[in-house]
Structure 1
């Protein structure tokens, strides 16, 4: 098993409504001191206790990495979610305490890129806000393309425009679906200059479209970066998981994760904080067989090595896999 996360106690210093569905939460250290440093694209996992129910949701840090007196996260209320966003929207007030993990970055800016092209959809704008602070400080060449479905859903647009004007660096373009404004992803990918990297965060269809456009344009995979805090839907045939330490075999049903199958049968003690393939706490060693990897935690090289998998989202490639549990 992998990471055991250190927890920070924070206080909700301020709550602001950014759009009809998005609130910004400003978090300060409970002891009043500075918070740990982070880099653009970092996230924290917010741990919430609602009676007997516990939620752990990952959120990007959207403030300046130079301002450690507080963190800021943007939370979109998701009706069809695990419940954490609704809890934050409906039950958390200014002055309340929360527990969060130390910042972690799975969506860092590339040091090799000569130009950075940022593509955001909806709430996917949040990691780019901290990244743009970092890019402006570096004096790095960059541009932002931000798409959302209607004018009232353009969270943080005014701030982006104001900061871009003040810095005099980078460009920001906005695309409002209800106004018929469409982002030409194929054209963007074809026009990507040599040495430039493209980053995308937002709904799964946007991420898939950017990755497909980049592939069609012949852009090397290492120049394409993406992030989405949502577990992929479990799909695929049933398979068996052999737990090597106990010798037990667990049958994983179609549409079921390995983690849920183990918990359903109380077959082993496992730890998983996020259940979305981003925190690394459920990383488990593969002893035999191969995995289909759906997490965002392991690098592409680590996935190819087939030494471990995240049991919350990843599956067996065949009918059987043996794990170090």
Structure 2
């Protein structure tokens, strides 16, 4: 897999608990452009983590990411907050997106909580560049809003909240009053996303117009499902709260893995038949037709793998 060597050229800790890094190529070359809503996967001692890109999307000289410190997390955020400094280098996989704006949409409604604002920033940049109709609802803790000043420079159609009641009141009104053809994009903690989706669904929003970006490592346990291995005919059940990767490894199958969050692409397995509930941030829609990421994605009923 292709990797990029990036140097930390600036660090910003102005927002408590959130560290923003500016990353440049070793030779200060132009970096690969990316689709709004894209992320890069940064390797660290504990594995790899995906972080949304918030800077310019076209021919950027720097990648910008903002990382919330999670003391109880896997360790990637602690490493970024406590170990990285200007002049250090990191290895990263090139940008990928599973959260791009739908170009046919008549309006883009962005709904974010906390650090979930990060993928929305590149959406706002794109909307401004191409004069697309966009609205943002952003709820955050007092004094801990990321990109607040930048949001104001990117759009006049943003509503920011520091209390849940005001946000929920505006959310219902916004979801109920959108013109036909609006697509909604949501990012934040799992419970936040569940609440927003529940509200949207109750107001008649079809699933095809709701787009979700999950935080890595916050997926629900999921229902049990069966797996059949075409090479041996072996059939087994992946229990709730257990990943396909864990089940395959326990049965002696050596599946490469790295991040365990569906962002690095290492544990991709071929799917011969069955319905897959894709929960990764790596595969494209075309790739999902015959593949799944064993660390996070699940099946519905029985899935047959070409292993």
Secondary structure in 2 matching 1:102: strand
* Cα separation, partners in 2 of 1:323 and 1:159, compared to 1, 3 Å: same
Q: Distance in 1 between matches of 2:149 and 2:272?
A: 52
Residue 322 of structure 1: aligned partner: 304
Q: Kindly indicate whether residue 115 of structure 2 is the aligned counterpart of residue 133 of structure 1.
A: no
Name the SS of the counterpart of 1:117 in structure 2. Answer: strand
Tell me the distance in 2 between the aligned counterparts of 1:235 and 1:223: 23
1:193 to 2:179 alignment: yes
1:234-245 aligned within 5 A:
234-237=221-224, 241-245=227-231
Q: CA deviation at 1:268?
A: 2.1
Q: Offset of 1:209 from its aligned partner?
A: 2.0
Query: What does residue 23 of structure 1 align with?
Result: 19
Separation in 2, partners of 1:116, 1:188? 12
Matching residue within 144, 152, 155 for 1:153:
144
Counterpart of 2:86 (choices 94, 106, 109) is 94
- 1:258 equivalent in alignment to 2:244: yes
> What is the CA–CA distance in structure 1 between the aligned matches of 2:228 and 2:180, rounded to whole Å?
47
Give the alignment of 1:154-303 within 5 angstroms: 154-161=145-152, 163-164=153-154, 169-177=155-163, 181-184=166-169, 185-231=171-217, 232-237=219-224, 241-245=227-231, 252-265=238-251, 267-287=252-272, 290-296=275-281
Deviations 1:233-267 (A, max 9, x none): 32444x664443356666645421111222344x2
Distance 1:16 1:190 in 2: 38
Distance in 1 of aligned mates of 2:134 and 2:294: 36
1:40 positional shift: 1.3
Cα deviation code 1:176-212 (max 9, x no counterpart): 028x533332222111111221111111122122222
Q: Taking structure 2 as the reference length, what is the TM-score of the superposition?
A: 0.88
Given that 1:198 and 1:225 are in contact with CA atoms closer than 8 Å, whether structure 2 keeps it comes out as yes
Mark the runs of 5 or more structure 2 residues left unpaired by the alignment. Answer: none
2:51 match: 59
Please give the residue correspondences for 1:36-51 in structure 2 after superposition, counting only pairs within 5 Å.
36-49=32-45
Question: Which has the higher mean CA deviation after the structures are superposed, 228-237 or 85-94?
Answer: 228-237
- Could you tell me whether the CA contact under 8 Å between 1:142 and 1:170 is conserved in 2? no
Which segment drifts farther, 248-257 or 74-83? 248-257
Q: CA RMSD in A?
A: 2.6
- C-alpha displacement at 1:94, in angstroms? 1.2
CA distance in 2, matches of 1:108, 1:89: 28
Q: Quick one: distance in 1 between partners of 2:21 and 2:250?
A: 35
- Following the alignment from structure 1 to structure 2, what is the Cα–Cα distance between the partners of residues 215 and 302? 28
Secondary structure, in 3 states, of the residue corresponding to 2:73? coil
Shift of 1:105: 1.3
Total equivalences in the alignment: 305
Report the Cα distance in structure 1 between the residues aligned to 2:190 and 2:262, rounded to whole angstroms. 15
Evaluate the alpha carbon distance shift between residue 91 and residue 296 of structure 1 in structure 2; reply closer, same or farther with a 3 A threshold: closer
Gaps (5+ residues) in structure 1? none
Q: Name the CA shift for 1:125/1:252 in 2 (closer, same or farther; >3 Å).
A: same
